[in-house]
Amino acid sequence: MVSHIVVVLALTHAALAKVSPNFSDCRGQFYASTPPVGFDSSLTPICQMYENYNNPFFATLYHKGNKYGLYSAYILDTRPGDVTGADQTFRLEPQLVDTRLPKEMSLQPATETAIRNLGLSGTPADLIKQNQAINSDYTGSSYHKGHLNANADHPDGPGQKATYTLTNVAPMFGSLNSGAWKNNEKRVRDISATCGKMYVITGVVPGNNWISVNGVQRVNIPSHVWSAFCCVNNNNQPVRAEGSLAPNNANTVQSGLSIASLQSQLKSLMGRSITLFSNNCS
């Protein structure tokens, strides 16, 4: 890492967000090391890493145009007695502006400094806003920063803190995020206790409406939120798989869907044939 960006490296609670073609650095986050098939190949795969840990914490397929992750994939990891930690400040991903920028997730002022140090043409704040949402985009909107990779699906500590990046959230209807979707996440966590390991993919369906700031469309508002899990035993053999789907304008969730049913509904909503898990986790 070059010396002129040491200011960013010195940030406490930094994280790595490595743009990684084909998820080559974080295939282990997916069942059978196989990312979903059928999504737009022009989107940006990110391996999300935290501080000086060498292991990626989760993977995100990022949509620069809509300014959110289309999905995040991770291994659910909760332990008896865990509690959800305090909310963290959501950070930005410098490499979405230019892959020569630091891998560390950072606050906007530090990201702007790194852009200036690299000598990129253009105003740093504008370059950031062209590629991703910023915290102020959500200010005053009626939508929550809805986690895709849920912070409560990980132990209190770095696993939770790594989820607080704007690449891992999308605008979510507040009552849904705090109500039925939260309850569904807890239901899946309860199921995970019966698994040797649980692979989870949670994503959104792009919608027709936007969060606008000063008349400018900034962040697409998803029409739906979805999630799927693949539960394997201690021999890594699939034993259970389910999906969930929720409209992003109501406090209701379809849960307990077969993977085939969820994929069929996603095809109707997105116009694409999607395969979430290798062999549908069966």
pTM recorded for the entire structure: 0.90
Whole-number pLDDT of residue 82: 63
Roughly how many angstroms between the first and final C-alpha of the chain, as a whole number? 43
**Spatial distance between the Cα atoms of 221 and 177, rounded to a whole number of angstroms:** 14
Whole-number pLDDT of residue 7: 30
* CATH node for 3-281: 3.40.570.10
Residue found by looking up tokens 């029409």 in the block: 223
User: What number of residues does the chain have?
Assistant: 282
Task: Quick: pLDDT tens for 33-65.
Answer: 999 999 999 999 999 977 778 788 999 999 999
Q: pLDDT 10s digit of each residue in the chain, 282 long? A: 333 333 332 333 344 467 888 999 999 999 999 999 999 999 999 999 777 787 889 999 999 999 999 999 999 998 665 666 666 889 898 889 998 988 777 889 989 999 999 999 999 999 999 999 999 999 999 999 999 999 999 988 888 888 999 999 999 999 999 999 999 999 999 999 999 999 999 999 999 999 999 999 999 999 999 999 999 999 999 999 999 999 999 999 999 999 999 999 999 999 999 999 999 999
Whole-number pLDDT of residue 139: 94
Whole-number pLDDT of residue 85: 64
Nearest to 201 by CA among 242, 254, 237, 239: 242
**Spatial distance between the Cα atoms of 135 and 128, rounded to a whole number of angstroms:** 12
Parse the chain into domains and list their residue ranges: 3-281
Whole-number pLDDT of residue 81: 59
Sign of the Cα pseudo-torsion (8, 9, 12, 18, in order)? positive
Three-class DSSP labels, the chain: CCHHHHHHHCCCCCEEEEECHHHCCCHHHCHHHCCCECCCCCCEEEEEEECCCCCEEEEEEEECCCCEEEEEEEECCCCCCCCCCCCCCCEECHHHCCCCCCCEEECHHHHHHHHHHHCCCCCHHHHHHHHCCCHHHHCCCCEEEEECCCHHHCCCCHHHHCCCEHHHEEEEEHHHHHCHHHHHHHHHHHHHCCCCEEEEEEEEECCCEEEEECCEEEEEECCEEEEEEEEECCCCCEEEEEEEEEECCCCCCEEEECHHHHHHHHHHHHCCCCECCHHHHC
Whole-number pLDDT of residue 86: 63
Whole-number pLDDT of residue 12: 33
Whole-number pLDDT of residue 78: 80
CB contact at 8 A, 255 and 225: no
Q: Which two tokens stand for residue 218?
A: 């900034």
**Spatial distance between the Cα atoms of 211 and 171, rounded to a whole number of angstroms:** 8
Whole-number pLDDT of residue 4: 36
